């Protein structure tokens, strides 16, 4: 049937999976609220409190001294994408436990395509959350150039795809929903704190060269920097390369993991 329906069938399938992700998100209003409150707490409380301690000097992409709130916003935007990526991973584990994922996996369309559609839905939700946060930050007085809100879109989409792909790969390895919280502690917090989200790498290097190197190897750092530069209408080529390469690698790993013949899912009863 899939072949007979041609391009229209593929499009309908893709849009149907994305629509379901959006529907689920719209039905969980508290999830949207939680996704917003988390970075806002960091912005209103942490950033305001640490403004004096963590003043930031001139560094690309900024052309003047910036307040700590301005520095921290791209990191908090990336944080919303990180949590959304893990949330979509959690929903995959939940779907698997409740059995609803089976409907997806017995579709005649290839799994890589179905998983890409699911990821795209998750990215769309993450980007909407990121823009909602940027809007509140703007009202709070943390402004980027107006055009920056447009140029940041591809950076948000690429970063969201990388983080959701990491979540998807993890979901294939997590056997039960109960294990999820533990795994998240070993993923979200190290990724967030060992990155340039809260402090510039040059400052970290002063305190701990090792931590700075770890942060440089952390894909989340490159999501943050890609977003930071894009918000100020610039491209951080290193970060773009890392996000693209790591995104491709984690997508390939997730496709492999969900392959019924070879992947991790094939080894589980």
Partner 1 sequence: MTDAAPAALEVDGLSFAYGKKKALDGVSFTAPAGAFTALLGVNGAGKTTLVNLVTRLFAAREGRIAICGRDLGSAPGAALAQLGVVFQSRALDPNLTVAQNAVYHGALHGMGRREALSRAEATLARVGLADRMRERVGRLSGGQQRRAEIAQALLHGPRLLVCDEPTTGLDIESRAAIVRDVHALAKEEGVGVLWATHLVDEIDAEDGVVVLDAGKVIAAGRAADIAEGRPLADAFLALTGAAA
Q: Please identify which residue in 57, 100, 179, 185 interacts with partner 1, judged by CB under 8 A.
A: 100
Q: Are 116 and 248 in contact (CB under 8 A)?
A: no
Give the ranges where the chain is alpha helix by DSSP (H): 2-27, 29-41, 48-50, 68-98, 100-105, 111-140, 148-173, 180-185, 188-193, 201-207, 209-217, 219-231, 237-257
Contact between 99 and partner 1 per CB under 8 A: yes
- Compare residues 97 and 206 and give the one whose CB is closer to partner 1: 97
How far is Cα 142 from Cα 183, in angstroms, rounded to an integer?
33
* 26 binds partner 1, rule: CB under 8 A: no
55: CB partners within 8 A, 6+ apart? 65, 67, 68
> For residue 77, which of 139, 158, 156, 164 has the smallest C-alpha distance?
156
Residue 104 interacting with partner 1 (CB under 8 A): yes
Please report whether residue 102 would count as binding partner 1 according to CB under 8 A: yes
If binding is defined by CB under 8 A, does position 107 make contact with partner 1? yes
17 binds partner 1 (CB under 8 A): yes
Residue 55 within binding range of partner 1, rule CB under 8 A: no
Q: What is the smallest separation between the CB atom of 117 and partner 1, expressed in angstroms? A: 9
Task: Count the Cβ atoms, other than its own, within 10 Å of residue 69.
Answer: 21
Looking at the Cβ atoms of 119 and 204, the one nearer to partner 1 is 119
Contact string 250-269 vs partner 1 (x = CB under 8 A): ---------xxxx---x--x
Exposed (0-12), middle (13-18) or buried (19+): which is 183, by Cβ within 10 Å?
A: middle
Applying CB under 8 A, which part among 69-77, 105-113, 153-161, 240-248 lies near partner 1? 105-113
Q: Strand, coil or helix: what is 56?
A: strand
Task: Name which of 108 and 154 has its Cβ closer to partner 1.
Answer: 108
Binding site for partner 1 (CB under 8 A): 1-5, 8-10, 12-13, 15-17, 19-20, 23-24, 27, 98-100, 102-110, 114, 259-262, 266, 269
């Amino acid at each position: 049937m899939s072949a007979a329906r041609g391009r229209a069938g593929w499009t309908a399938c893709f849009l149907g999976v994305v629509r379901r992700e959006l529907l689920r998100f719209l039905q969980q209003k508290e999830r949207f609220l939680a996704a917003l409150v988390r970075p806002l707490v960091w912005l209103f409380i942490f950033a305001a409190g640490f403004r004096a301690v963590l003043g930031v000097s001139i560094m690309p992409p900024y052309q003047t001294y910036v307040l700590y709130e301005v520095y921290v916003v791209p990191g908090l935007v990336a944080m919303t994408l990180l949590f959304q990526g893990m949330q979509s991973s959690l929903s995959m584990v939940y779907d698997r436990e409740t059995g609803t994922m089976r409907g997806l996996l017995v579709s005649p369309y290839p799994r890589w395509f179905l998983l890409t559609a699911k990821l795209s839905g998750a990215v769309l939700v993450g980007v909407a959350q990121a823009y909602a946060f940027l809007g509140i930050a703007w009202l709070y007085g943390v402004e980027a150039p107006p055009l920056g809100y447009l140029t940041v879109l591809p950076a948000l989409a690429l970063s969201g795809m990388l983080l959701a792909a990491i979540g998807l790969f993890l979901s294939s390895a997590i056997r039960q929903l109960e294990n999820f919280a533990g795994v998240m502690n070993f993923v979200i917090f190290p990724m967030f704190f060992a990155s340039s989200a809260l402090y510039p790498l040059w400052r970290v290097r002063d305190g701990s060269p090792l931590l700075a190197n770890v942060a440089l190897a952390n894909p989340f750092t490159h999501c943050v920097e890609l977003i930071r530069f894009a918000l100020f209408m610039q491209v951080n080529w290193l970060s773009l390369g890392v996000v693209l390469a790591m995104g491709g690698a984690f997508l390939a790993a997730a496709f492999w993991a969900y392959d019924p013949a070879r992947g991790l899912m094939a080894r589980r009863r």
